[in-house]
A = this chain, B = another copy of it.
Amino acid sequence: MEFIKQPMEIETRSMEIIAPYLEGMNLDEKAVKVYSRIIHAAGDVEYAPIIRIGAGAIDKAMGALRSGSDIYTDVEMVRTGINKRKLASFGGEVHCLIADDEVVAMAKAEGITRSMAAMRKFGKKLEGSIVAIGNAPTALFEVLRLVREEGIRPACIVGIPVGFVGAADSKRELAENGIVPYITVEGTKGGSPIAAAAINAMMYLINNDRG
């Protein structure tokens, strides 16, 4: 069977196929890149009408990434999906505490998820950083609590947890938080490759800016 084997050709063709689904949505050039990479990662054009990007969120995130901000993730799959070589070129790195002994103990003691305990342990480190959540609604709820109750201000929250228990609610709360810039997806869909795709799209935009 004949098929396209060359990586750049695959990517170019994929973006061409996605483009018509974004027409008439009044997206700026940067948003088009973020939308396209999310749709590409999900293989699902039905993401187009449910992606939500807060005003200025892409510029805020790009600014933070460009200046070497670190990224804090809920699960290892998001960390794996992020282009760490690109991130390191700006001076940043990715942190995930889901397998941290103290986090595991805290989660067990309090009857909460490990990813929620991980966000609590990150705490003040999230200040000025990028938060990337691709799995656990509980982690996103905890970050929003840190914002609301402890005054912590990430540069941008990419909050795209997935599933039927809390995901839609946590993402609605994110989109309505009124304080921190955000990138999210309405409803139950989401996941680690989606969150990682949004982050990678913004890093690739920085390289484009630099020419």
Contacts and interface: CB of A to CB of B under 8 A. Distances in A.
A60 interface: no
Contacts of A187: 43
Given A76-B80, A77-B80, A1 B169 contact: yes
A81 to B, nearest CB: 5
B7 A113 contact: yes
A188 to B, nearest CB: 4
B164 A17 contact: yes
Interface stretch (A24-32, A62-70, A125-133, A189-197): A189-197
Interface in A3-18: 3-7, 10, 13-14, 17-18
A193 B77 contact: yes
Given A111-B5, A165-B4, A192 B13 contact: no
Given A165-B14, A191-B193, A193-B192, A6 B111 contact: yes
B189 A43 contact: yes
A163 B5 contact: no
A5 B138 CA distance: 6
A15 to B, nearest CB: 9
B192 A14 contact: no
A18 B165 CA distance: 11
Contact of A14 (B10, B41, B43, B164): B164
A3 B172 CA distance: 13
Contact of A137 (B3, B40, B163, B191): B3
Contacts of A113: 5-7, 10
A150 interface: no
5 contacts: A5-B116, A10-B138, A10-B165, A77-B81, A77-B193
Interface of A: 1, 3-7, 10, 13-14, 17-18, 40-45, 76-77, 79-81, 107, 110-114, 116, 137-138, 141, 162-167, 169-170, 173, 187-193
